[in-house]
Protein backbone atom coordinates (compact mmCIF):
# COMPACT_ATOMS: atom_id res chain seq x y z
CA UNK A 1 0.00 0.00 0.00
CA UNK A 2 1.14 3.54 -0.77
CA UNK A 3 0.29 6.55 1.40
CA UNK A 4 -0.45 9.60 -0.74
CA UNK A 5 -0.65 12.99 0.96
CA UNK A 6 -3.34 15.17 -0.48
CA UNK A 7 -3.35 18.29 1.64
CA UNK A 8 -1.79 19.34 4.91
CA UNK A 9 -1.56 22.31 7.21
CA UNK A 10 -1.39 22.77 10.97
CA UNK A 11 -5.14 22.19 11.46
CA UNK A 12 -6.06 19.30 9.19
CA UNK A 13 -4.60 16.70 6.92
CA UNK A 14 -5.85 14.19 4.43
CA UNK A 15 -4.34 11.32 2.58
CA UNK A 16 -5.19 8.18 0.66
CA UNK A 17 -3.85 4.74 1.35
CA UNK A 18 -4.10 3.01 -2.01
CA UNK A 19 -2.75 -0.02 -3.83
CA UNK A 20 -0.64 2.00 -6.25
CA UNK A 21 2.53 1.67 -8.32
CA UNK A 22 4.81 4.58 -9.09
CA UNK A 23 5.03 4.82 -12.90
CA UNK A 24 7.03 7.99 -13.36
CA UNK A 25 8.56 10.83 -11.35
CA UNK A 26 10.23 14.03 -12.51
CA UNK A 27 11.61 17.01 -10.62
CA UNK A 28 10.99 19.98 -12.89
CA UNK A 29 12.21 23.54 -12.42
CA UNK A 30 8.97 24.25 -10.52
CA UNK A 31 7.73 21.12 -8.73
CA UNK A 32 7.84 17.39 -8.23
CA UNK A 33 5.65 15.54 -10.75
CA UNK A 34 4.66 11.92 -10.11
CA UNK A 35 2.33 9.44 -11.78
CA UNK A 36 0.90 6.45 -9.93
CA UNK A 37 -1.24 3.62 -11.21
CA UNK A 38 -3.87 2.65 -8.64
CA UNK A 39 -6.51 -0.06 -8.63
CA UNK A 40 -9.13 2.26 -7.15
CA UNK A 41 -8.63 5.44 -9.19
CA UNK A 42 -6.64 4.46 -12.28
CA UNK A 43 -3.68 6.65 -13.12
CA UNK A 44 -3.10 9.57 -10.76
CA UNK A 45 -1.05 12.72 -11.41
CA UNK A 46 0.49 14.34 -8.31
CA UNK A 47 2.18 17.75 -8.15
CA UNK A 48 4.41 18.19 -5.10
CA UNK A 49 2.65 15.23 -3.52
CA UNK A 50 -0.85 16.65 -4.00
CA UNK A 51 -3.41 14.87 -6.18
CA UNK A 52 -4.02 16.91 -9.31
CA UNK A 53 -5.81 14.48 -11.65
CA UNK A 54 -7.12 10.94 -11.47
CA UNK A 55 -8.66 8.95 -14.31
CA UNK A 56 -11.49 8.03 -11.93
CA UNK A 57 -13.06 11.47 -11.51
CA UNK A 58 -11.26 14.09 -13.63
CA UNK A 59 -14.37 14.57 -15.79
CA UNK A 60 -16.30 16.15 -12.90
CA UNK A 61 -13.69 18.88 -12.56
CA UNK A 62 -12.92 19.58 -16.21
CA UNK A 63 -16.53 19.55 -17.41
CA UNK A 64 -17.68 22.03 -14.78
CA UNK A 65 -14.71 24.35 -15.23
CA UNK A 66 -15.35 24.62 -18.96
CA UNK A 67 -19.04 24.19 -19.74
CA UNK A 68 -20.43 26.58 -17.13
CA UNK A 69 -18.86 29.67 -18.79
CA UNK A 70 -18.93 28.36 -22.37
CA UNK A 71 -22.68 27.68 -22.36
CA UNK A 72 -23.60 31.17 -21.13
CA UNK A 73 -21.20 33.31 -23.17
CA UNK A 74 -22.96 34.66 -26.29
CA UNK A 75 -20.13 33.95 -28.75
CA UNK A 76 -16.87 32.54 -27.32
CA UNK A 77 -14.24 32.55 -30.05
CA UNK A 78 -10.88 33.01 -28.35
CA UNK A 79 -10.11 31.20 -25.07
CA UNK A 80 -7.10 31.22 -22.76
CA UNK A 81 -6.34 28.39 -20.34
CA UNK A 82 -3.85 29.24 -17.61
CA UNK A 83 -2.39 26.02 -16.24
CA UNK A 84 -4.26 23.01 -17.58
CA UNK A 85 -1.13 21.07 -18.47
CA UNK A 86 -2.90 17.69 -18.28
CA UNK A 87 -5.09 18.56 -21.29
CA UNK A 88 -8.51 17.86 -19.77
CA UNK A 89 -9.69 21.46 -19.96
CA UNK A 90 -8.73 21.71 -23.62
CA UNK A 91 -10.50 18.41 -24.34
CA UNK A 92 -13.74 19.90 -23.00
CA UNK A 93 -13.24 23.21 -24.82
CA UNK A 94 -13.10 21.36 -28.12
CA UNK A 95 -16.73 20.31 -27.61
CA UNK A 96 -17.60 23.96 -28.39
CA UNK A 97 -17.25 25.99 -31.57
CA UNK A 98 -14.30 28.05 -30.42
CA UNK A 99 -11.83 29.34 -32.98
CA UNK A 100 -8.60 29.62 -30.98
CA UNK A 101 -7.32 28.16 -27.71
CA UNK A 102 -4.16 29.36 -26.00
CA UNK A 103 -2.75 27.29 -23.14
CA UNK A 104 -0.27 28.99 -20.82
CA UNK A 105 1.25 26.21 -18.70
CA UNK A 106 4.39 27.36 -16.92
CA UNK A 107 5.78 23.84 -16.48
CA UNK A 108 6.50 22.08 -19.78
CA UNK A 109 7.21 18.83 -17.90
CA UNK A 110 3.55 18.59 -16.86
CA UNK A 111 2.53 18.59 -20.52
CA UNK A 112 5.17 15.98 -21.37
CA UNK A 113 4.08 13.69 -18.54
CA UNK A 114 0.42 14.08 -19.51
CA UNK A 115 1.12 13.17 -23.13
CA UNK A 116 2.97 10.08 -21.97
CA UNK A 117 0.56 8.81 -19.30
CA UNK A 118 -2.81 10.53 -19.91
CA UNK A 119 -3.33 10.45 -23.68
CA UNK A 120 -7.14 10.56 -23.35
CA UNK A 121 -6.69 14.07 -21.94
CA UNK A 122 -3.50 15.32 -23.56
CA UNK A 123 -4.32 14.32 -27.13
CA UNK A 124 -6.44 17.49 -27.18
CA UNK A 125 -3.19 19.47 -27.44
CA UNK A 126 -2.74 18.13 -30.99
CA UNK A 127 -5.78 19.98 -32.30
CA UNK A 128 -4.79 22.77 -34.74
CA UNK A 129 -6.82 25.31 -32.75
CA UNK A 130 -4.50 24.88 -29.76
CA UNK A 131 -1.24 26.74 -29.10
CA UNK A 132 0.81 26.06 -25.94
CA UNK A 133 2.99 28.65 -24.21
CA UNK A 134 5.32 27.80 -21.34
CA UNK A 135 5.25 31.12 -19.52
CA UNK A 136 4.10 32.69 -16.27
CA UNK A 137 0.34 33.05 -16.70
CA UNK A 138 0.09 36.13 -14.49
CA UNK A 139 2.46 37.96 -16.83
CA UNK A 140 1.33 36.31 -20.07
CA UNK A 141 -2.17 37.82 -20.10
CA UNK A 142 -1.01 41.43 -19.93
CA UNK A 143 -1.85 43.34 -23.14
CA UNK A 144 -3.86 40.43 -24.57
CA UNK A 145 -7.59 39.92 -25.08
CA UNK A 146 -9.83 36.85 -24.85
CA UNK A 147 -13.51 36.06 -24.66
CA UNK A 148 -12.99 33.44 -21.95
CA UNK A 149 -10.15 32.91 -19.46
CA UNK A 150 -10.05 29.63 -17.54
CA UNK A 151 -7.58 29.31 -14.69
CA UNK A 152 -6.97 25.59 -14.22
CA UNK A 153 -4.41 25.96 -11.48
CA UNK A 154 -3.01 23.93 -8.63
CA UNK A 155 -3.39 25.07 -5.01
CA UNK A 156 -2.36 28.61 -3.94
CA UNK A 157 1.30 28.05 -3.22
CA UNK A 158 4.40 27.56 -5.34
CA UNK A 159 3.96 28.33 -9.05
CA UNK A 160 0.21 29.06 -8.67
CA UNK A 161 0.39 31.52 -5.77
CA UNK A 162 0.22 34.63 -7.96
CA UNK A 163 -3.05 33.42 -9.53
CA UNK A 164 -4.97 33.97 -6.27
CA UNK A 165 -4.28 37.70 -5.89
CA UNK A 166 -6.34 40.84 -6.47
CA UNK A 167 -3.72 42.09 -8.91
CA UNK A 168 -4.13 38.99 -11.08
CA UNK A 169 -7.94 39.30 -11.14
CA UNK A 170 -7.61 42.92 -12.20
CA UNK A 171 -5.25 41.87 -14.99
CA UNK A 172 -7.76 39.21 -16.10
CA UNK A 173 -10.50 41.85 -16.23
CA UNK A 174 -8.35 43.99 -18.52
CA UNK A 175 -7.62 40.97 -20.75
CA UNK A 176 -11.30 40.13 -21.31
CA UNK A 177 -13.35 41.45 -24.20
CA UNK A 178 -16.84 42.87 -23.68
CA UNK A 179 -19.08 40.22 -22.10
CA UNK A 180 -15.93 38.25 -21.25
CA UNK A 181 -15.95 35.62 -18.53
CA UNK A 182 -13.15 34.37 -16.29
CA UNK A 183 -13.51 31.19 -14.25
CA UNK A 184 -10.82 30.28 -11.75
CA UNK A 185 -10.14 27.24 -9.60
CA UNK A 186 -11.01 28.56 -6.14
CA UNK A 187 -10.54 25.70 -3.67
CA UNK A 188 -13.01 23.78 -1.49
CA UNK A 189 -15.67 25.44 0.65
CA UNK A 190 -15.28 23.02 3.59
CA UNK A 191 -11.53 23.70 3.98
CA UNK A 192 -10.93 27.10 2.40
CA UNK A 193 -13.85 29.34 3.34
CA UNK A 194 -11.61 32.26 4.34
CA UNK A 195 -9.70 32.15 1.03
CA UNK A 196 -12.95 31.95 -0.93
CA UNK A 197 -14.33 34.93 1.00
CA UNK A 198 -11.17 36.89 0.25
CA UNK A 199 -11.39 36.11 -3.48
CA UNK A 200 -15.09 36.99 -3.57
CA UNK A 201 -14.47 40.28 -1.79
CA UNK A 202 -11.77 41.61 -4.08
CA UNK A 203 -13.21 40.18 -7.29
CA UNK A 204 -16.53 41.94 -6.65
CA UNK A 205 -14.61 45.22 -6.70
CA UNK A 206 -13.34 44.34 -10.17
CA UNK A 207 -16.16 42.45 -11.93
CA UNK A 208 -19.86 43.42 -12.00
CA UNK A 209 -20.95 39.77 -11.72
CA UNK A 210 -19.21 37.32 -9.38
CA UNK A 211 -20.40 33.96 -8.07
CA UNK A 212 -18.91 30.86 -6.48
CA UNK A 213 -20.02 27.44 -7.71
CA UNK A 214 -18.77 23.93 -7.09
CA UNK A 215 -18.47 20.37 -8.33
CA UNK A 216 -17.97 17.02 -6.63
CA UNK A 217 -14.56 15.36 -7.07
CA UNK A 218 -14.12 12.41 -4.66
CA UNK A 219 -10.30 12.36 -4.72
CA UNK A 220 -9.97 16.07 -3.88
CA UNK A 221 -9.90 17.33 -0.27
CA UNK A 222 -13.44 17.17 1.21
CA UNK A 223 -14.71 15.62 -2.04
CA UNK A 224 -15.47 18.94 -3.70
CA UNK A 225 -13.79 21.84 -5.46
CA UNK A 226 -15.11 25.27 -6.32
CA UNK A 227 -14.74 27.97 -8.96
CA UNK A 228 -15.06 31.73 -9.07
CA UNK A 229 -17.29 32.85 -11.94
CA UNK A 230 -16.39 36.43 -12.89
CA UNK A 231 -18.24 38.09 -15.76
CA UNK A 232 -18.06 41.50 -17.42
CA UNK A 233 -21.53 41.07 -18.93
CA UNK A 234 -24.95 39.71 -17.93
CA UNK A 235 -25.07 36.10 -16.79
CA UNK A 236 -27.59 34.00 -18.72
CA UNK A 237 -29.04 30.62 -17.81
CA UNK A 238 -27.52 27.64 -19.58
CA UNK A 239 -29.48 27.12 -22.76
CA UNK A 240 -28.23 23.73 -23.86
CA UNK A 241 -26.60 20.49 -22.85
CA UNK A 242 -23.15 19.60 -24.12
CA UNK A 243 -22.53 16.33 -25.97
CA UNK A 244 -20.42 13.51 -24.55
CA UNK A 245 -20.45 14.68 -20.95
CA UNK A 246 -20.47 12.43 -17.90
CA UNK A 247 -21.17 15.02 -15.18
CA UNK A 248 -22.37 18.27 -16.76
CA UNK A 249 -26.01 18.97 -17.56
CA UNK A 250 -27.82 22.29 -17.74
CA UNK A 251 -29.67 21.29 -14.56
CA UNK A 252 -26.39 20.56 -12.73
CA UNK A 253 -25.14 23.90 -14.07
CA UNK A 254 -27.92 25.81 -12.32
CA UNK A 255 -27.73 23.72 -9.14
CA UNK A 256 -23.97 24.24 -8.76
CA UNK A 257 -24.54 27.89 -7.79
CA UNK A 258 -26.82 26.94 -4.90
CA UNK A 259 -24.58 26.88 -1.83
CA UNK A 260 -25.14 25.41 1.64
CA UNK A 261 -26.21 27.73 4.45
CA UNK A 262 -22.73 28.08 5.98
CA UNK A 263 -21.48 29.59 2.72
> From the candidates 107, 147, 152, 155, which is the catalytic residue?
152
Residue 261 lies in a domain: no
Same domain, 162 and 89: yes
Residue 16 lies in a domain: yes
Same domain, 93 and 170: yes
Same domain, 101 and 50: no
Rounded to an integer, the average pLDDT of 97-112 is 97
The number of distinct structural domains making up the chain is 2
Please tell me the distance from the alpha carbon of residue 122 to that of residue 114, in angstroms, as a whole number.
6
Same domain, 207 and 118: yes
- 10-59 tens-digit pLDDT: 445 555 556 689 999 999 999 999 999 999 999 999 999 889 999 999 99
Residue 260 lies in a domain: no
Same domain, 68 and 47: no
Please tell me the distance from the alpha carbon of residue 122 to that of residue 91, in angstroms, as a whole number.
8
Same domain, 71 and 118: yes
Same domain, 40 and 168: no
Same domain, 137 and 192: yes
Same domain, 43 and 131: no
Tell me the whole-structure pTM to 2 decimals. 0.93
Q: What percent of the chain has pLDDT over 70?
A: 90
- 137-170 tens-digit pLDDT: 989 999 999 999 999 987 777 767 888 899 999 9
Residue 87 lies in a domain: yes
> pLDDT value at position 233?
84
pLDDT at 252 over 90: yes
Residue 262 lies in a domain: no
Dihedral sign for Cα atoms in the order 18, 26, 94, 137 = positive
Residues spanned by the domain of 49: 2-54
Is 152 considered catalytic here? yes
Angle at 187 between CA 230 and CA 9, to 5 degrees: 150
For residue 230, give the CATH number of its domain. Answer: 3.40.50.150
- 179-220 tens-digit pLDDT: 999 999 999 999 999 999 999 999 999 999 999 999 999 999
Same domain, 66 and 146: yes
Rounded to an integer, the average pLDDT of 69-85 is 95
Amino acid sequence: MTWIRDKWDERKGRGLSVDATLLDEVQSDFQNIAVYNSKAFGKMLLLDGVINVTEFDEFAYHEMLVHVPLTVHPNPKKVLVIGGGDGGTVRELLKHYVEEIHVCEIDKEVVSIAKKHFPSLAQAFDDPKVTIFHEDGAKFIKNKQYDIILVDSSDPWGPAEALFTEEFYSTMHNALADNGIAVTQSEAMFYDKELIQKIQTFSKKIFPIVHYYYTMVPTYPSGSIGFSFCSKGPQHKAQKNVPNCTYYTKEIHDAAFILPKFM
